[in-house]
Structure 1
């Protein structure tokens, strides 16, 4: 087991630069998730670690070795892709052991490693089946098993659950978390789904346009984002943002029914700011400041979508089974301590 260190890593395609000087340290045995919107560079960065993309500048180290210009086979990594890429004419056991067979490992060693991977992934009952007889989740487990038998220093996952339906995604998310707990290997996982990032990661790396916006533990990013982009990307449903105005010793928020909030120390004395409040931290109340657009009742949780007097859209999460009717007028309350403040122009956090 070894960590991964990226130092001023750059990637260019001709004159177009897509990765801009990434510095990152992933500890031995850590589960690190790259997350961000489509096109942010997360898969490109993963493929650079794997050696599938050439590194234009900077260095990549796996453990004590500089692997920047090594072939993929020499890096000690195994990659699980979005597509399973299983051989349809081979059984599960043959698919899992094929890489070792091609490298002329002894049959007894291959059988032992396939058996151990099968035990970890609960595939013992499927070893003689071919891929067409497996579900999507089982096929992805076989692809993960193929990576395990290689005994890599680092596991790389490139959106491995995106082809699965919602139920299987949850099931496989739990499987991957359990796998990490059992084998303790260093894992780097790419996803655009922040729920996967929050539930799987020891460390989240939030990327935007080829740059790191913030690195930290899931709850640190949720509770203490550095900027508006991270605040809006981490958390489901997404954080509500309201244009607001500082002045007179307070911050007036029209989208919250002209509520006045105490400003942070770094807020301007006067002028525009942005206020962020998570849907979980808002409460419906008596009043007529917001019109109910739609309410979604899911049983244990409900989502209310409101329209403020200034046209702002507001999402409120509630944990009861009462839902106001569409078109009804309601009020909102929020604990001022739960409001976050951002620079209206740069999006930087005001603390």
Structure 2
């Protein structure tokens, strides 16, 4: 079994601690995505698993082996980077088999492994080409093939799609998902793009400032976030947040003219400041001539459009519309929603009120 376990993993650079006691279990065959904003520590954590960064304290296990202080080559991992790092003077086949050649693997075995990886990645027609004759997506597939031929226990991906254009990113997401389904290996994938995380992962690890905010399946994090950060990070467009205040058994919403709404949870003490979280698809707009809420801009994306509004309290709101239900331009608007879809967060701690 080739799962990955981190026990109180810590990383320091001198006096500065950047990874703060990470405890994490990644099961054998699981596709785990580390996601978070720039500087949250996701790439550092991945490099600690790979052995490219020394672990300052704690333990890292791959399968039954403690690899905390093992050399990268002895960990049974293969890493795919953002840059393809292909040798320009070598063919695709030579690039894919180079690591095995350097380890003294017989030519017949190298050819067999390259052929197997080429078949999985649909590179058979490109084996004799050199990197300059390949597209960006094809080069990234070669880099993945180079990892496959090593037969690692764990695949590590460090933002592998960042250099690709939008269409190729979609294509490669499909390729990587198909690869995981086909070979069933444990994969850890780093990205700042939560769309990639949602579409690829069995398990998402949301990181902020070197700490885990929440771990769970994509749907679990989307439907049941533990705090405002996770709620705002998972989902595209992001969740809307309006300021409110507890008044008895209701919540006052200044952005809607001190409108009082029912809460779907037991509320904290009267006077507690809260954030009211609403997904764009759970908001509705309708004409209301005397309303100070107006449409700022509309994004048309074919079957769906997004209306960007500003409230009298200067809070930005995004409303998702399908069909012909978009808000009228240059007119006052009424903003409405069903309280069953409301999520409440404590304004001070940003923890979800359940």
TM-score range (shorter-chain normalised) is: over 0.9
- CA drift of 1:289 comes to 5.0
- Contact persistence 2:304–2:322 (CA under 8 A): yes
> Counterpart in 1 of 2:305?
302
CA distance in 1, matches of 2:119, 2:222: 36
> Counterpart in 2 of 1:342?
345
**1:281 correspondence with 2:282:** yes
CA distance in 2, matches of 1:44, 1:121: 28
CA distance in 2, matches of 1:124, 1:148: 15
Matches within 5 A, 1:80-91: 80-91=80-91
> Counterpart in 1 of 2:175?
175
Matches within 5 A, 1:82-231: 82-231=82-231
CA distance in 2, matches of 1:266, 1:25: 34
**CA spacing shift, 1:58–1:238, aligned 2, 3 Å:** same
Q: TM-score, normalised by structure 2?
A: 0.97
Cα shift readout 1:192-238 (whole Å, capped 9, x = no counterpart): 00000000000000000000000000000000000000000000000
CA distance in 1, matches of 2:56, 2:240: 39
Unaligned runs of 5+ in 2: none
Unaligned runs of 5+ in 1: none
Matches within 5 A, 1:40-55: 40-55=40-55
- CA drift of 1:307 comes to 1.3
Cα shift readout 1:58-88 (whole Å, capped 9, x = no counterpart): 0000000000000000000000000000000
- Contact persistence 1:257–1:332 (CA under 8 A): no
Cα shift readout 1:129-184 (whole Å, capped 9, x = no counterpart): 00000000000000000000000000000000000000000000000000000000
Q: TM-score, normalised by structure 1?
A: 0.98
- Contact persistence 2:92–2:129 (CA under 8 A): yes
Deviates more, 1:208-217 or 1:310-319: 310-319
Cα shift readout 1:232-274 (whole Å, capped 9, x = no counterpart): 0000000000110111320011224543222321432323111
- CA drift of 1:333 comes to 1.7
- CA drift of 1:329 comes to 1.4
CA distance in 2, matches of 1:271, 1:24: 34
CA distance in 2, matches of 1:170, 1:321: 28
- Contact persistence 2:246–2:267 (CA under 8 A): no
CA distance in 2, matches of 1:60, 1:249: 48
**1:317 correspondence with 2:302:** no
CA distance in 2, matches of 1:8, 1:271: 35
- CA drift of 1:332 comes to 1.8
Moved over 6 A (4+): none
- CA drift of 1:46 comes to 0.1
CA distance in 1, matches of 2:12, 2:36: 19
- Contact persistence 2:92–2:142 (CA under 8 A): yes
CA distance in 2, matches of 1:276, 1:300: 25
**Number of residues of Structure 1 aligned to a counterpart in Structure 2:** 351
